[in-house]
Each structure stands twice: as C-alpha cells, then as structure tokens.
Structure 1
C-alpha cells in the first residue's frame, strides 16, 4: 500500500523544518506520542535508530531507522512494528517566502497478522487519513508557534 499527503504551511521553509524536526514538539501534533529514545547513531542522521512509543487505546512501539536525511529536500525513515513495516519520505518545498509545502509519501511493505492485513485491504483510507490528520495538526501547531 502506497499513498501521499500534503499540506501548505504559512511559514518559511527553515522555520517549518526546524519545528518539524524538534522531537520535543512531537507531542503537540502527534496524538498519543509518549516518548522517543535514541538507540544508536546521531539523531536525525543517516543510520540513527530510535524507539518511539505512542499510547492510545493500545501501546504502540516503533523502531525508526533513518535511511536518508537531507532536509528540507528529503528525509526517508523506516518504521518497524510487530504488525507492519513502512517507509516514509518527507519533503518540504518553498511555495513563497513564507509558505511551505509539506509532503509525506508512505509505503507499507509488510503486514504481519490477519487483522492488520484485512484492515489494510478493506480500509486503506484509514492509514492515509491518520497521516493527513497529523500533517494538518502540525500545520496548526507550526503556524501558531512559528509566527
């Protein structure tokens, strides 16, 4: 399963990327975000590994591995979970001096388990909807914080 989402943010590209990369901000726009623990490498650099924990109805633990870090042009990260594996490519593009496009391309490469496979097959829009929701929440947070 593969999809992309985007949102326009009324901030400069530099300020947008700065807010997006700052892990202390994750709780402001990612529902359920609890913590990130760096396991190896230099944070936000190629090869870095981190454990990310979300707590909603269930606890979700992800292993993040940075594949490429060249922001604002592109950042690619691999996310591994007991039930799924995906890559996310994030890009930021200048639209105008104080307007930035935030683009996310997500590709799920593995689903483990009958229920998650069924969910992905029957309700792929749920996955894209969650990504778009977080992007919209980031836009709201960034515009409020960055101006």
Structure 2
C-alpha cells in the first residue's frame, strides 16, 4: 500500500528541520510515544538504528527505525519495522517563500501475516489518517509549541 501526504508548516525550513531533527521533540508530536533508544550507528546518520516504543490504544508497539538517507534540510528517508509490518517513508522538505515549509511524505507499507494483510486491505485509510495526524501534530508543535505529550 502506497500513499502520499502533504502539509504546509508556517515556519522557515531551517526552524522546521531543527525541530524535526531533535529526538527529544518526538514526544511533542508523536502521540503515544513512550520511549526511544539509539541502538547502533551515529544518531541521525545513514544506517543508524533506533528503537521506538509506542502505546496505541491498549497495546504497546515497538518499531525499529533505520535511516536510509539523511539529506537535511531537503529530505529524510527511513524504514520502520514491527512484527509483520515494513514501512518505508520518504520525506521531502521544500522551502516556500523563506517563511514556510512544504512537507511531502511518501509512505509505503508492506505487510506479512494474515492479520496485518487483512488490516491493510480493509482499512488503508486508517494508516494514511495516522500519518496525517503526526504531520498535523508536528505543524502545531513547530508553529505554536502545542505538545501532545501528557
């Protein structure tokens, strides 16, 4: 399953990247994030791995992020792996007028296991909705310092 989401964030691209490229800020725009731990490689560099633990509804989910390409301030690509799910994200950041940033996120989910394949088939909109929620929450944090952290 592939889809693209976009959002305009009304901060200059360098401010956008400074906020996005700080792991401590993730709790402010990734609702449900419980913890993160760098596993290998230099944080932020290509090939680096990080474990992310989320609470989604009544269950915990652990993802392993692997950075494929870090070309800030222009693009950032990574994979996110969990049980029966491989997610590839390609993020692009375009300067708009020196005051705003267009964030384009190309997402691909690859599922294995009957349950995840079924969810991907029956509820593709739920995955796109979650991606857009994170993007909107980042926008609120970057523009107005509104945090989803409790």
Q: TM-score, normalised by structure 2?
A: 0.92
Counterpart of 2:85 in structure 1 is: 84
Task: Map residues 86-125 of structure 1 onto 2, 5 A cutoff.
Answer: 86-109=87-110, 111-125=111-125
Kindly indicate whether residue 69 of structure 2 is the aligned counterpart of residue 68 of structure 1: yes
Tell me whether 124-133 or 20-29 shows the greater mean CA deviation.
20-29
Counterpart of 2:36 in structure 1 is: 36
Q: Once the 2 structures are TM-superposed, how far is the Cα of residue 55 of structure 1 from its aligned partner?
A: 1.3
Q: Which runs of 5+ in 1 are unaligned?
A: none
Q: TM-score, normalised by structure 1?
A: 0.94
SS state at 1:43 partner? coil
Q: Which runs of 5+ in 2 are unaligned?
A: 146-150
Asked whether the 8 Å contact 1:71–1:91 carries over to 2, the reply is: no
Write the distance in 2 (CA, Å) between the matches of 1:50 and 1:116. 23
SS state at 2:126 partner? helix
Write the distance in 2 (CA, Å) between the matches of 1:85 and 1:13. 29
SS state at 2:42 partner? coil
SS state at 2:52 partner? strand
Task: Map residues 121-132 of structure 1 onto 2, 5 A cutoff.
Answer: 121-132=121-132
Kindly indicate whether residue 134 of structure 2 is the aligned counterpart of residue 134 of structure 1: yes
Write the distance in 1 (CA, Å) between the matches of 2:35 and 2:18. 19
Q: 4+ residue stretches of structure 1 with deviation over 4 A? A: none
